Amino acid sequence: MTKRTIVKLPGDGIGKTVLEEAIRVLDAAGFEADYIEGDIGWEFWCNEGNPLPDRTLKLLEEHKIGLFGAITSKPKDAAFEELAPELKEKGLVYSSPIVGLRQHFGLDICMRPCHSYKGNPLNFVRRGQGGTIEEPEVDVIIFRQNTEGLYGGVEWSNPSDEVYNALMTHPKFVKNFGNVPREELSVSTRIFTKKATERILRAAFDHAKKYGYKSVTLCEKPNVIRETSGMMYKMAIEIQKADYPDIQLWNTNIDAQMMWLTKNPETYGVIVAGNMFGDIVSDGFAGLIGGLGFACSAQFNPDSGIGVFEPTHGSAPKYADYDVSIVNPIAMIESACMMLDFIDENDIAAKIRKAVAEVIAEGKVRTYDMMKMTGRPDVIEKGAASTQQMADAVIEKL
């Protein structure tokens, strides 16, 4: 095995803790790598006015693979308040560095797998016939378009003349908003491009083909959001017909999908959606398999080979300063496994996933979330495993 260089991006809060634990697990599994630390997050916003410094972009450009913890993000006014006094005159506006990373490197393919581990007390259960309890096995992977749509950042409050006049060319705008004072208007656009839409659709179909899923479900709202969702649905039909005739294309609306989530989650396999709906539906499925302590993700640009792998949870500031960290490192460890898959270290990834599965099935070591406790420092005394103990348990299995 050639030794890899991985850019570790701890970020803020619990991001730092879970990342270190995941690296211990990677080491124990025999993954040989040098880790270079990249600066990202709140302290760099406060002290430098940029939460994603250029030096970090350069590191990723060079080494291609980033393992990311989590960052703290705040609305722009709150962010401005915390800026170092000498930077306050510079007209800086805060924006999320993780969204910035995605857009800078065109990390447009986001994968969020949600599969239930046997023995996880947080698995979704439902009532079956005759009052029986059923625990459906969830094995879903969400392909979320990661750079466009509602997160594209093209938005205005109190729009300028040019923007306002352009909006006024649309009859629906005139009819529904034409009488609204301009300073009372806020507009966020939802822009989809054919290129990016095709890429995420094909990524989903390719994955279904490779791993034997029988269907791809497009989860949008084409009957109402006719241009963007409508284009995506039309392209999905064409692509399926032309290149993936053996895989069924299902079309569900995001709202109905959220309702069906708990009715028959085992029916779904590969799901594909735009940015916002992909974010929503992936959190929904994550809730069925244990929540944020289990939700991992990969985001990458297939052309440049640049990929960043991260748990979907945030920096959980309220738990960040505990003497003994209580948060669950599994989402981060699973994200590290997705990184290993991406760089073709599938055997090591499989080994780690097997170790995690064994620890969960055995049920002796469980973090506070798995014990359904309220997160407080005393959960450790009450028998919950710490972040480190959970990683130790995985390492022992390895």
Interacting residues with ligand NAI (CB under 6 A): 70-73, 98, 292-293, 310, 313-318, 327-328, 331, 369, 375
Instruction: State in angstroms the smallest separation of the CB of 293 from Mg ion.
Output: 15
**Closest CA relative to residue 23, chosen from 352, 320, 366:** 352
Instruction: State in angstroms the smallest separation of the CB of 216 from ligand NAI.
Output: 26
Per partner kind, with CB cut-offs from 5 to 8 A, the member of Mg ion, ligand NAI, none near residue 331 is ligand NAI
Per partner kind, with CB cut-offs from 5 to 8 A, the member of Mg ion, ligand NAI, none near residue 71 is ligand NAI
Rank residues 66 and 311 by Cβ distance to Mg ion and give the closer one. Answer: 311
Q: Residue 327 carries which DSSP code?
A: S
Rank residues 233 and 322 by Cβ distance to ligand NAI and give the closer one. Answer: 322
Instruction: State in angstroms the smallest separation of the CB of 141 from ligand NAI.
Output: 19
Rank residues 71 and 272 by Cβ distance to ligand NAI and give the closer one. Answer: 71
Instruction: State in angstroms the smallest separation of the CB of 118 from Mg ion.
Output: 26
Q: Residue 186 carries which DSSP code?
A: E
d(CA 101, CA 223): 32
**Closest CA relative to residue 376, chosen from 323, 306, 303:** 323
Instruction: State in angstroms the smallest separation of the CB of 389 from Mg ion.
Output: 28
Task: State the amino acid at position 353 in one-letter form.
Answer: R
Q: Residue 169 carries which DSSP code?
A: T
Does the protein bind Mg ion through residue 279 (CB under 5 A)? Answer: yes
Residue nearest to Mg ion (CB): 279
d(CA 104, CA 299): 13
For residues 97 and 117, the answer to whether their CB atoms sit within 8 Å is no
Task: State the amino acid at position 31 in one-letter form.
Answer: F
Q: In sequence order, which ranges of 244-345 are alpha helices (DSSP H)?
A: 254-260, 275-288, 317-320, 330-342
Rank residues 73 and 116 by Cβ distance to ligand NAI and give the closer one. Answer: 73
d(CA 49, CA 100): 14
Backbone dihedral angles phi then psi of residue 46, each to the nearest 5 degrees:
-65, -40
Instruction: State in angstroms the smallest separation of the CB of 11 from ligand NAI.
Output: 6
With a CB cutoff of 8 Å and minimum separation 6, the contacts of 59 are 7, 36, 38
Instruction: State in angstroms the smallest separation of the CB of 188 from ligand NAI.
Output: 18
Rank residues 15 and 274 by Cβ distance to ligand NAI and give the closer one. Answer: 15
Rank residues 178 and 317 by Cβ distance to ligand NAI and give the closer one. Answer: 317
Per partner kind, with CB cut-offs from 5 to 8 A, the member of Mg ion, ligand NAI, none near residue 55 is none
With a CB cutoff of 8 Å and minimum separation 6, the contacts of 70 are 11, 12, 13, 14, 15, 18, 310, 311, 313, 314, 315, 316
Does the protein bind Mg ion through residue 310 (CB under 5 A)? Answer: no
Per partner kind, with CB cut-offs from 5 to 8 A, the member of ligand NAI, Mg ion, none near residue 279 is Mg ion
Residue nearest to ligand NAI (CB): 314
User: Which residues are at the interface with Mg ion (CB under 5 A)?
Assistant: 279
